[in-house]
């Protein structure tokens, strides 16, 4: 089965509130009350408030739970966010339209301790890719008496419903740009460019315990074993975020839908590599589970017959062991590995960067040091609850100053050290 997906990008230049939800001349008009009703379609939701946050404004969103891009299935099997919004059918083929430049951001009372901050201007804006998107912000409040994982589900699904509702506004529009992605079955793919090195991607998904959840076709990946995935599936939302890991290196649903690793591999496919496909794997708590998943991952990669593999991590600390095990076992099969991670090297940069390491990890890309300290100036408009700056990961008691400024590690900023490379930090050689 050849999976060929057309992604039609409808460039959004501005977002405004209006009486009718529609897209006209690149402007996304949002009916605030209608969107709130759609997002709140759950008896566990007490209230939903809708705000707009645009690049350059003196606006802070805190705490950020998830970010989602509005998309709609136009042709082909399944729909967006299979297992949550659409039926559990194979996705990744046909045609999908995207409201490119718009994003749905969820906030509200804190769910876990590892949620984030998006500043739309100032120094914090330079660390998050979501300071450049036109954000439709949902402040979602659940009813009393829910536990943390129920609270997370309420906020997550409110965002999914809102993103789907807005995405449908682009279904009948003519895209400004259409990109085409295609992956053939394994034997055909290998034969397509026989003289180019065959490359695969090991896509590690956060799944370590309560509130560390990532979903594949609606299933918590704690419950799966490593498996093959056509790369086009991610563009239709086959992978969705539900986790509360540190904001700097979590992958919001928006990032999965726009996976820069997959985008880059497709861009180089047929030029200097033959992109064979993806293996998704979970990140585990126990040693036995880590050994099991890494062994299965290495077996699948060997079966694909590739020459090299890119491995990306999500999170830090305990998942470093999963990253190293994947690296070691794949390297022992004679397959070159390239690792993508970030670092927790202390505020002075002098501490050990990773919790685990290996001599086989001789090609490593870093997304930056999450312990780097930053002061975020006060903002005239705050959506959410600024007081959580004292308790989210990267902040400490006293991070929030009386004037509204926040001094904390860049760990608090959504996407600051994203391990798929969806961010702005880079390195220079002098």
Q: Give me the active site residues, please.
A: 244
Question: Cα separation of 72 and 81, whole Å?
Answer: 10
Instruction: Say whether 169 sits in a helix, a strand or coil.
Output: helix
DSSP 8-state class, residue 144? T
Sign of CA dihedral 294, 298, 304, 308: positive
DSSP 8-state class, residue 413? B
Question: Cα separation of 206 and 254, whole Å?
Answer: 15
Alpha helical stretches, state H, 79-195:
148-167, 186-192
The greatest distance separating any two alpha carbons of the chain, rounded to the nearest whole angstrom, comes to 64
Contact 150, 52 (CB under 8 A): no
- Contact residues for 4 (Cβ-Cβ < 8 A; gap 6+): 93, 180, 181, 182, 232
Nearest to 242 by CA among 314, 319, 316: 314
Give the Å distances, CA to CA, from 100 to 23, 105, 213, 398. Answer: 12, 14, 26, 38
Residue identified by tokens 């950020």 is 64
45-53/3-11 β-pairing: unpaired
177-183/3-11 β-pairing: antiparallel
DSSP 8-state class, residue 112? S
Nearest to 111 by CA among 81, 146, 135: 146
**Torsion (CA) 107, 109, 111, 114 in degrees, nearest 10:** 70
* Pair of tokens at residue 406: 């926040």
Cis amide prior to 63 (ω within 30 degrees): yes
């Amino acid at each position: 089965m050849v999976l060929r997906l057309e992604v039609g990008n409808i460039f959004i230049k501005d977002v405004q509130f209006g009486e009718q939800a529609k897209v006209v001349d690149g402007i996304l008009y949002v009916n605030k009350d209608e969107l709130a009703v759609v997002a709140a379609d759950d008896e566990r939701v007490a209230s939903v408030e809708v705000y707009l946050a645009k690049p350059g404004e003196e606006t802070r969103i805190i705490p950020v739970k998830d970010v989602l891009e509005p998309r709609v299935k136009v042709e082909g099997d399944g729909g967006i966010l299979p297992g949550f919004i659409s039926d559990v059918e194979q996705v990744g083929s046909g045609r999908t339209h995207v409201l490119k430049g718009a994003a749905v951001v969820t906030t509200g009372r804190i769910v876990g301790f590892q949620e984030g901050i998006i500043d739309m201007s100032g120094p914090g804006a330079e660390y998050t890719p979501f300071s450049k998107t036109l954000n439709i912000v949902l402040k979602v409040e659940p009813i009393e008496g829910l536990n943390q994982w129920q609270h997370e589900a309420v906020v997550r699904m409110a965002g999914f419903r809102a993103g789907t509702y807005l995405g449908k506004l682009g279904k009948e529009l003519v895209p400004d740009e259409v990109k085409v992605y295609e992956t053939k079955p394994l034997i055909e793919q290998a034969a397509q460019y026989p003289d180019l090195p065959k490359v695969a991607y090991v896509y590690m998904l956060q799944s370590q315990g309560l509130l560390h959840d990532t979903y594949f076709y609606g299933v918590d990946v704690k419950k799966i074993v490593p498996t093959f995935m056509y790369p086009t599936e991610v563009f239709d939302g086959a992978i969705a975020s539900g986790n509360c890991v540190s904001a700097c290196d979590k992958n919001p649903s928006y990032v999965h839908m726009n996976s820069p690793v997959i985008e880059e591999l497709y861009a180089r496919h047929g030029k200097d590599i033959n992109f064979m496909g993806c293996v998704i794997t979970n990140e585990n708590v126990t040693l036995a589970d880590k050994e099991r998943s890494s062994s299965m991952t290495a077996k699948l990669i060997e079966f694909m017959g590739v020459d090299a593999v890119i491995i990306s991590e999500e999170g830090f600390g305990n998942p470093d062991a999963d990253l190293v095990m994947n690296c070691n076992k794949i390297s022992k099969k004679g397959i070159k590995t390239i690792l993508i991670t970030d670092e927790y090297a202390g505020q002075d940069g002098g501490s050990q960067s990773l919790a685990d390491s290996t001599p086989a990890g001789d090609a490593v890309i870093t997304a930056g040091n999450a312990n780097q300290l930053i002061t975020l100036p006060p903002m005239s408009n705050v959506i959410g609850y600024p007081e959580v700056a004292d308790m989210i990961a990267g902040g400490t008691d006293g991070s929030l100053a009386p004037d509204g400024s926040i001094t904390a590690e860049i760990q608090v900023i959504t996407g600051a050290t994203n391990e798929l490379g969806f961010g702005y930090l880079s390195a220079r050689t002098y």
